[in-house]
Structure 1
């Protein structure tokens, strides 16, 4: 169950993310209102980046790629 929670957390970060002009094109920003242990694990795996002081994080290229794989696994499509 813990692995599914991690997967769904990454999916939520991705699905609620947005593009910003002042960050690299291969990254997206998302609010980080999720379990801090999971977010720390994602940071360690370089799926997300951000400061502990920030209320948001950046999904890295690897994080977005992993989330897109999970979308296929859960048979989801993202509207742009």
Structure 2
């Protein structure tokens, strides 16, 4: 089976938004290839390193919020 990495990236971005703390940081306990793609797209800072969180870029934070609301918000609430 072939995976749609765009959908995986969006889902991961939404889950990163779920763990948002300190205004722009999120826990990085996700697939490394996916985090690398999000970094390559300019949505998060470099995920490599000992720190257990990543920093959203301004664009990444905006996109993460949009995807999170699309995927997880209750309709009509």
TM-score, scaled to structure 1: 0.72
State how many pairs are aligned.
70
* Superposition deviation, residue 50 in structure 1: 3.3
* Superposition deviation, residue 67 in structure 1: 1.2
Higher helix share: 2
RMSD: 1.9
1:30 match: secondary structure:
strand
Structure 2 stretches of 5 or more lacking a match? none
Q: Report the counterpart of residue 6 of structure 1 in structure 2.
A: 9
Higher relative contact order (CA 8 A, sep 6+): 2
Structure 1 stretches of 5 or more lacking a match? 20-26
Q: Report the counterpart of residue 58 of structure 1 in structure 2.
A: 55
* Superposition deviation, residue 45 in structure 1: 1.2
Q: Is the 8 A contact 2:28 2:53 kept in 1?
A: yes
Alpha-carbon distance between aligned partners in 2 of 1:4 and 1:51, rounded to the nearest angstrom: 20
2:21 match: secondary structure:
coil
Q: Please identify, of 63-72 and 37-46, the stretch whose mean Cα deviation from structure 2 is larger.
A: 63-72
Q: Report the counterpart of residue 43 of structure 2 in structure 1.
A: 47
